[in-house]
Amino acid sequence: MQAFAGRKRWLHCAKNMRASAFIYLYRKLLLNDTEAAASLPMREVWNPNPVWQHFINQVTSAHANNLAKLAGPAQP
């Protein structure tokens, strides 16, 4: 999405469910929105089913692990 900064983007899903999960991840992980702000559009449409919640958790965990690797070892 950053490649289109300053331009309108259209993300589509027939019921806006799956699309809202990706928007949530983008807002939470890349824009650093609060949990409440990032999840609001998704929660207005649906509460992710177990399969999608697992996917969201996996992406969130992988993102946190990548950030930790970039930060390097903890300083005493």
- More confident of the two residues 58 and 64: 58
Per-residue model confidence (pLDDT) at position 74: 63
For residue 14, pLDDT over 60 is answered with no
Q: Is the pTM of this model over 0.75?
A: no
Q: How confident is the model at residue 19 (pLDDT cuts 50, 70, 90)?
A: confident
Question: What average pLDDT does the chain have?
Answer: 83
- More confident of the two residues 39 and 11: 39
- Residue boundaries of the structural domains of the chain: 11-60
Q: Which two tokens stand for residue 11?
A: 């993300």
Please state at what angle helix 50-71 crosses helix 17-25, rounded to 10 degrees: 20
